Every structure is written in C-alpha cells, then in structure tokens.
Amino acid sequence: MERPPFKNGKDSTHQMRMVGARLLLRWLETFEGKTWQQRWNASPGSATSVGWTEAPLAWGIVHGRRPQKAGLGSGLLALVCADVIRPSMPWLASSLSPHLREAIEAARDPRGFTELRDARMPGQPDPRRTSKALKAVARILAAKGGSIDDIVVGDVLELLLAATGTSTSHTRLAYALLQSRGLFLSIPPICGDLPMQPVPR
C-alpha cells in the first residue's frame, strides 16, 4: 500500500489514508478471526455502511488516538481496493462513497473500465448514467475481488437484489455494458420479471 496504484496523489492524502488503514486494522485485531475478512465480518462495522465509523472512532479515542471519520473512510477504501477486506453487497449498495469507482478502477482494472466507458451500444446512455453504471461495476469488484473479466451473472443479480431506488437501473445498465464487452453473451438481458436469486461463485 506504499506503492502505486495505492499510493498516488498528494502525500498528505496518502498519509491520511495510511493512518486510517492502520487504525482500522488495529481495531479489527480486537475481534475473533484468522483473517482480516473474518474479523471485519465479526465487527459492528460490517453490518451497514450507515454510521459504520462510530465503533472504530470510539475505540480510537479510548486508546488515546484522535481518529478522523474521513481518515477511516479513506483507510477502508484503501483496504478494499487492496482486497484485504470485502464488504458485503448490501453494505456497498448503501454506501455513498464518491471515490469508490475511481479508486477501484485505478487499483484493479483501469483498462477494463476504460473499455466499458468507451463501449458502443444501442440507445447509447449519457455519460452521467454510464458513470453510475461503472460505480455499480466497482461495487461488484469491491465485494467479490478480481477484475471485470471475473464478474459472473450471479454477481450482478446479487447487487440488483441489494440495490434500491434509481440504483437498480444503474445496475441493469452495468449488466448491458458488461454484455457489450463480451461477457454473458449466452444469457438473456435482465428484465423485470426474471427470477433473481444470488448465484454462488
């Protein structure tokens, strides 16, 4: 995490990111588990993205630290991009992080995201909708690991089940973009009456 693509931009930003990541790992050490993922799952932070920083913030203050909410968010994003922690799909579907897509793209699959952004398809969506769809793709990679070529239909369905409001249309567009790249060619388009259940990977 001290090297690109995780170390980029201003030194002060990277320092804040690393401080947040270290504090999160120290906090996670207080939970049962043999891996960081198991400890994350055992922590209250894994339950929901809403207010997840409250517990590590309180822990840090008790232990003589002065953690910042923004630093914890930045630290978690770095750990997610490095595939140290994989939040659940519902957790990610409710997350309002404005930096997830950009960070996942740089760390995991910049070429794949560029190809999706440049995809040509009937009824070409506007750049804003495409950006939202790419964030849906980033959420899948954050939850499942790997790169865009590793995404399977079940991953998209799982996110669709977890999505709410307008984000469901963004997930459907993400599916169409992935199809345009040559994935899921033998699978029909996702439609409203299609039975949707998560498919194990």
Quote the CA–CA distance of 83 and 103 in Å, as a whole number. 12
Alpha-carbon gap, residue 40 to 60, rounded angstroms: 16
Please tell me which residue, 97 or 147, carries the higher pLDDT value.
147
Given this model, what pLDDT does residue 116 score?
92
| Least confident interval from 26-30, 94-98, 141-145, 150-154 | 94-98
Q: Global pTM?
A: 0.86
Cis amide bond preceding 195, omega within 30: no
**Model confidence pLDDT, tens digit, residues 170-184:** 999 999 999 888 877
Average pLDDT rounded to a whole number, residues 31-44: 97
Q: In the prediction, which pLDDT does 65 show?
A: 84
Dist. CA 147–CA 170, nearest whole Å: 19
Residue type, 122: P
Higher local confidence (pLDDT), 164 or 56: 56
pLDDT band at 197 (very low <50, low <70, confident <90, very high): very low
Among 53-67, 89-103, 114-128, which stretch is predicted with the lowest mean pLDDT?
114-128
* Short-list 27, 13, 142, CA closest to 79: 142
What pLDDT, on a 0 to 100 scale, did the predictor assign at position 199? 43
Q: What is the pLDDT of residue 9?
A: 64
What's the mean pLDDT in 157-169? 87
Q: What is the pLDDT of residues 58-90, one digit of tens each?
A: 999 999 888 889 999 999 999 999 999 999 999
Instruction: Give the per-residue pLDDT at 200.
Output: 47
Would the pLDDT of 28 be above 70? yes
* DSSP string for 10-37: -HHHHHHHHHHHHHHHHHHTTS--SSHH
Rounded mean pLDDT of the chain?
A: 87
Is residue 102 predicted with pLDDT exceeding 60?
yes
Min mean pLDDT across 25-34, 118-127, 157-166 is at 118-127
